[in-house]
């Protein structure tokens, strides 16, 4: 497991370890069910206190990214996926009227009809994508990038909203970051598990920072706090003490022109709002996931 830390960075070791492991999971480099090093083993390798690793692991567990039982090693949370699609187009009002009349003719109540219809609809193949994530900014980013590649309707909701309204699963191919969709699997039919979106590994962004010859100011701009937090943790080893990192959270902050920064990393939602000479578009969703979803939900 490739985790690197920098003691010279202003980013806490706990955050560096946690966010780098989270990115390994999000990019698929750590797979569902794969065991993580023990707390003491990773602490020994990184030459940090075991409590720091333990706290980082707990942060990941709180987000349902990893799991474990007492006395056993932590593993990446299990999750599977299966994509399909089917839809139809007929006179819907006539169908509903016919179904109501037929049910009543055979002695079924409207409540019985409603419950059975919902059960049946939940088993039908999806005709749209539903992005589930807790943070609104993260949902917007994922939806925007999927919309560029996927030829299907895309909706979004929080984990809490999904849990409170099971009907949101009707006709939906559920997707989201690992840990978010993990909580929603129990609401879906057994043969239609949610799909875990893989994120880009940020290798290009890390390499750009590493190639800077002079101490430089670097900016990261995003509408997602999780995006900014991840960038901070992942870039920390490359930043060290040579470079400084400035984060801008839109729309609360309006950075204006950022020409003074050597590199400006922008997400897919902010790149058109930022003025900078050295702007770098950082895509969140991996090309692998985009291609997969485009085929999974194609008409």
* pTM for this model (two decimals): 0.73
Average pLDDT across each block of 10 residues of the chain; the chain has 299 residues. List them in order.
89 92 89 91 95 93 85 77 41 73 79 76 78 94 94 92 84 86 68 85 94 96 94 93 94 85 96 92 94 83
DSSP letter string, 59-121: HHHHTTSEE--TTS--EEPP-----------S-HHHHHHHHHHHHHHTT--HHHHHHHHHHHH
pLDDT at 299: 60
Q: Quote the CA–CA distance of 81 and 175 in Å, as a whole number.
A: 9
Listed by start position, the domains of the chain span 1-31+33-78, 92-199+290-296, 201-282
CB 254 within 8 A of CB 299: no
Interacting residues of 139 by C-beta distance below 8 A, sequence separation 6+: 131, 132, 133, 156, 157, 158
Residue 197's Cα: distance from chain center in Å?
6
pLDDT at 298: 65
What order do you get walking across the sheet with 263-266 strand by strand?
Answer: 244-249, 217-222, 263-266, 279-281
CB 151 within 8 A of CB 294: yes
Q: Quote the CA–CA distance of 146 and 227 in Å, as a whole number.
A: 17
pLDDT at 189: 64
pLDDT at 187: 64
What CATH fold (topology level) applies to the domain 1-31+33-78?
A: Arc Repressor Mutant, subunit A (1.10.10)
pLDDT at 185: 66
Q: Is 253 left (phi over 0), alpha (psi -120 to 50) or beta?
A: beta
Encoded tokens for 199: 């994120």
């Amino acid at each position: 497991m490739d985790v690197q830390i920098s003691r010279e960075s202003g980013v806490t070791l706990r955050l560096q370890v946690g966010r780098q492991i989270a990115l390994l999971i999000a990019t698929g480099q750590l797979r569902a069910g794969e065991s993580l090093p023990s707390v003491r083993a990773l602490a020994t390798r990184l030459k940090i206190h075991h409590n720091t690793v333990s706290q980082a692991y707990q942060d990941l567990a709180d987000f349902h990214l990893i799991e474990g039982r007492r006395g056993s090693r932590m593993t990446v949370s299990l999750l599977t996926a299966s994509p399909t699609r089917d839809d139809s187009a007929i006179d819907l009002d006539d169908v509903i009227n016919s179904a109501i009349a037929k049910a009543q003719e055979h002695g079924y109540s409207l409540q019985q009809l409603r419950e059975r219809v919902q059960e049946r609809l939940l088993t039908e193949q999806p005709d749209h994508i539903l992005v589930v994530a807790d943070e609104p900014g993260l949902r917007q980013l994922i939806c925007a990038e999927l919309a560029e590649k996927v030829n299907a309707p895309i909706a979004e909701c929080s984990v809490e909203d999904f849990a409170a309204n099971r009907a949101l699963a009707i006709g939906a191919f559920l997707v989201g970051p690992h840990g978010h969709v993990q909580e929603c699997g129990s609401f879906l039919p057994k043969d239609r598990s949610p799909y875990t979106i893989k994120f880009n590994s940020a290798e290009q962004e890390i390499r750009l920072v590493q190639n800077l010859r002079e101490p430089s100011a670097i900016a990261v701009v995003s509408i997602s706090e999780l995006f900014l937090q991840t960038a901070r943790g992942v870039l920390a080893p490359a930043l060290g003490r040579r470079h400084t990192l400035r984060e801008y959270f839109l729309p609360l902050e309006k950075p204006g022109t950022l020409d003074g920064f050597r590199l400006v990393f922008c997400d897919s939602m902010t790149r058109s709002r930022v003025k900078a000479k050295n702007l770098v578009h950082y895509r969140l969703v991996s090309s692998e996931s985009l291609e997969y979803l485009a085929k999974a939900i194609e008409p």
